[in-house]
Amino acid sequence: MSEWWSYALSDFLLFSPRVYRRMFELHNGAVWPMQVLTLATGLAMVMLVLWRPRGHGRLIALFLAITWAFVAWSFFSLRYTTINWAAAYVAPLFALEAMLLLVTGVLFGRLTFDWRGVPGLLGLLLVAFALVGQPSLAPLMGRPWASAEIFGIAPDPTAIATLGLLLLARGKPVGLLSPIPVFWCVMTGATLWAMEAPEAWISPAAALLAAAGGIWSGKARGGQGEASQR
């Protein structure tokens, strides 16, 4: 792209805010009543984290993988691509995240979850926001409930919930599983910023919180390691 410095963020916006909002309305109508299932899955994952039964890591990874695969196919490939050709390039990324969750969390069972500690509480807060807060944004901002962005249906709450769950997770794959949700939070923030949407800061802020929690968690574990060596 020549003279790239002369482009503003809004130059990359292909659609109007109205079309973008109505897209969620149409999508919710098309996949109904999947919302009930995805929200139930989200709640089930929170329960699994809190109760930590045997095999909880594999189950959470499986639920998340299915969710990411569904959003890749139903939202990006079938819906968003009708107004944004770039969505066709994001769909494989969401599918890749699903694959990574399947391989690392389900196949190799390398993920366990623990909510204790400050990062854990922060993670639970992010998951709670993704399940309850994000869908409430539509009516709070004067838009119909039908245009609500719901975990497992829309990408933003899916990415935020995943970042929250990764803050609760233990295991090496966490570093591998974080970049794609963070990337999406930045992308969606840029899109909403270009549309001058008041909630543009939310997803990037969630990614920042997750990053801060991840650093805290890493330091805490490092400190525990040093203490145990003494």
Partner 1 sequence: MSLRHPSRRAILAAGAALAISSALSPRALRAQSTESAMRRIPSSGEAIPAVGLGTWITFNVGDDPVLRDECAAVMAAFFEADGRAIDSSPMYGSSQPVIGHGLAKLGAPSGLFSAEKVWTSSGPDGPAQIEQSRRFWGVPRFDLLQVHNLLAWKEHLKTLFEMKAAGKVRYVGITTSDGRRHDLLEEIMRREPLDFVQLTYNIVDREAEDRILPLARDRGMAVIVNRPFQQGALTRRLEREPLPDWSAEIGASSWAQFILKFILSHPSVTVAIPATSRVDHVRENVAAAAGPIPDQAMRRRMANHVEQL
Interface ranges with partner 1 (CB under 8 A): 2-3, 6, 10-11, 13-16, 18-19, 22-23, 26, 79, 82-85
Closer by beta carbon to partner 1, 27 or else 56: 27
Nearer to partner 1, 153 or 207 (CB): 153
What span, in angstroms and rounded, lies between the C-alpha atoms of 132 and 140?
12
Nearer to partner 1, 6 or 228 (CB): 6
The amino acid present at 100, given as its one-letter code, is L
Contact at 8 Å (CB) between 177 and 166? yes
Q: Are 176 and 104 in contact (CB under 8 A)?
A: yes
Q: Is 20:195 a contact under the CB 8 Å cutoff?
A: yes
Which residue, 11 or 226, has its beta carbon nearer to partner 1? 11
Give the DSSP per-residue string, 109-162.
---EE---SHHHHHHHHHHHIIIIIHHHHHHHTT--GGG---BTTBHHHHHHHH
